[in-house]
Structure 1
Amino acid sequence: MSNNNDVISPEMLVLIITATIIGTFVRFLSIKLDYRQYPNYPNGYLIHLVTGGLAAAIGAFIIPTLMTKNFTAVTFLALAAQHFRDVRKMERESLLDLEGDEFTRRGDAYIDGIAKIFEARNYITLIVSFVTALTIQLFQEFLDTAAWTEAVCGSAVGLIIYYLLKRFTVRQKVRDIATVEEGKIEIKGSDLYVNDMFVYNLAGREEAKEWFLDDGLAAVIRPNKDHFQIPLFNGGQRQAILFETTRRLGQKKLYNVENPGAGVIIIVLVPIIKNFELLKETILLTPLLETVKKNPELLNIQKGGQR
């Protein structure tokens, strides 16, 4: 800082601006990864980018406040934490309000997981911004380098931290524990079968029979190992799969059933877009929910025997 406490030195200005830009940039990257989960894209995109920018600014100002021994200003971190919790609450309420407008409900478990992720990514933004600022400050204190060198090195360290945090917080997907195969739809009397497994009683409705035989798709989700049935059969997880499926393909009619005897989940629907490869991809890319990951053993790929 300069001798005049009322003026920010050029060095500190470089630190603040660089850290804020890098923090906001990594928040932008994380928003792009999750655009499909927004309730009001692109307006939600803007909201989360602005709140991410605020988180980055808070992280950038931690070092200057400590350098000036203005410890009272650090209490803004507590306000930031409350702000991030409010973002989580806002996202949760927004998604809940839209539950009745979707083809299929997301379910409380899926919504809670999405809201937690948005809160966590603001913390990631703050951490990246802080580390960027700290790196620049260390260069300024111990190395006689140009301002652009300090900015580049600080940015590089911040992006590395973002990469590590992203790897640490990455979510497993259905494809990590299961496979999806196309099922053969059959009507026997008034009963709907997939691969000779009973799914639903159509009660003799000829229109429904024609729908499923002509335009229906069936997917059989088969866990890779026996113990993977536990997370897959979880009600919240199945609801998340159904939501992503109908969100992407649309829905005229839908049935889903778990078959514990066969160890599979069967999804049968009459979609607006009839494309099994798209259906398969959507199921496999559905994230595993936090509620099914509380016991790490449930997702341990080394446990149990191969089916």
Structure 2
Amino acid sequence: MDRVFFTGLAIGMISRLIMLNLDQKQYPAHPNILLSQIVLAFVASSLGALLVPALINRSYTSITFLSLAAEQFRQVRESRRNTLQNLEDVQLVKRGEAFIEEIARTYEVRNYMCITTSLITVGVYYMIVSDLKIGKTPSLIISAILGLALAFILKKLLTRQSIGDIADVVESKISFVDGSIMQIGDLKGITNIGLKSDRERYLTKGIGLEIIPKDKSYTNAGVLYDPGQRQAIVYNLYSRLGLLREHNEPAFVPLPRRNPKNESIMIAYIPIEKDIEKAIEAVKSCPILSSAKGKNLSLKNYTIGKKGSM
């Protein structure tokens, strides 16, 4: 019992650890947040590993503990959501409600992943020992291998697409027309920058980016249309490159704008360090939010720029 419990616990913990790198990439967090995730993974993995032997011994009250754990994980989601919402007012670039909800949901789902992998690992062990009459040590090895395989399968299933999967990101020139009207590429009217010093900062330190839907697809463009997705993109830029502005400088708040000519998104951004390659990678790594999907299914057969399409 001890060996299979610790094996299930280890597999559950490993399944969480292999997701930490992805979480850090898509949802940057502080070390204390990562530590709390590891502790929660330990609790979830323990519950999953104990459930099978408890049911074998007809201890059906264990299901009650499982339901209590699920309720606790929902509270973790609520707590994470509230924490991020409380921090919104002190952010130079806000995450936005959609991105916050996506992060909170992710933190909850990862715990269920730990329960599932540890539960399946221990369950397979008992099934092999009782049905196939294989020795305990070989059964432990087989169940551990299957548990690890399940962990990697779940990782693949739970990995979100990024902006780089549906769009190309290229540099675009920032300029000003009619004195103070910002233009990015061939799209003018982004915003009005009144002060000459502010315009000079954009021209010398700013980066212009164009996010172009791949395959001229309205489905891909529909994801970029979503306001929550656009806000997540500019926050991803901020979290990786910083932003050269103060709270009392509204002229430097990044404003993603749609270019109706090719359905791309144009962004003017002033990072602390001007590095176009890092900026492009920051945009491409932004996760696609669940709330941004599925709103343009009727447009999937249309092509941007094709005669007869939209």
- Give your verdict on TM over 0.5: yes
Identity, % of aligned pairs? 31
Q: Which amino acid letter does the alignment assign opposite residue 43 of structure 2?
A: L
Of 57, 69, 87, the match for 1:80: 69
Q: How do 1:121-270 residues align onto structure 2 when only pairs under 5 Å count?
A: 121-188=110-177, 189-198=179-188, 199-203=190-194, 205-224=195-214, 225-227=216-218, 228-252=220-244, 253-262=252-261, 263-270=263-270
Give the match for residue 273 of structure 2: 273
Alignment root-mean-square deviation, CA = 2.0
Please state how far the C-alpha of 1:139 moved relative to its aligned partner: 2.2
Q: Kindly state the Cα deviation for residue 101 of structure 1 after the two structures are TM-superposed.
A: 2.8
CA distance in 2, matches of 1:298, 1:233: 15
Partner residue of 1:6? none
Q: Which moved more, 1:275-284 or 1:140-149?
A: 140-149
How many pairs does the alignment contain? 293
Residue identity opposite 1:217 in structure 2: I
Q: Distance in 2 between matches of 1:69 and 1:209?
A: 73
Match of 2:288 in 1: 288
Q: Quick one: distance in 1 between partners of 2:196 and 2:167?
A: 34
Aligned mates of 1:202, 1:98 — CA distance in 2: 28
For structure 1, list consecutive stretches of 5 or more residues without a partner in the other structure: 1-11
Look up the equivalent residue of 2:38 and give its one-letter code: L
Single out whichever of 149-158 and 256-265 deviates more from structure 2.
256-265
Match of 1:9 in 2: none
C-alpha separation in 1, matches of 2:183 and 2:71: 51
Deviation at 1:260, TM superposition (A): 4.4
Report the AA paired with residue 244 of structure 1: N
Q: 1:240 to 1:128 in 2, by over 3 A?
A: same
CA contact (8 A) 1:39 1:95 kept: no
- CA distance in 1 between counterparts of 2:44 and 2:16 reads 9
Once the 2 structures are TM-superposed, how far is the Cα of residue 191 of structure 1 from its aligned partner?
A: 1.8
Q: Deviations over 1:72-91 (max 9, x none)?
A: 22221111110110111121
Q: Contact between 1:251 and 1:272, CA under 8 Å: does it hold in 2?
A: yes
Q: Following TM superposition, by how much is the alpha carbon of 1:39 offset from its aligned partner in structure 2, in angstroms?
A: 7.2
In structure 2, distance between residues paired with 1:257 and 1:33: 26
Alpha carbons of structure 1 residues 130 and 184: separation in structure 2 relative to 1, 3 Å? same
Compute the TM-score of the two structures, normalised by the length of structure 2. 0.88
Deviation at 1:151, TM superposition (A): 2.1
Is the CA contact 2:237–2:279 (under 8 Å) kept in the aligned structure 1? yes
- 1:125-180 alpha-carbon deviations (Å, 9 max, x no partner): 10100000011112221344443322221111111111222222221111121111
**Does the Cα contact within 8 Å between 1:219 and 1:267 map onto a contact in 2?**
yes
Greater shift in the superposed pair: 188-197 or 143-152: 143-152
Deviation at 1:102, TM superposition (A): 2.5
How far 1:68 sits from its partner (Å)? Answer: 0.8
2: CA distance, partners of 1:282 / 1:184:
18
* 4+ residue runs over 6 A deviation: none
Distance 1:96 1:166 in 2: 27
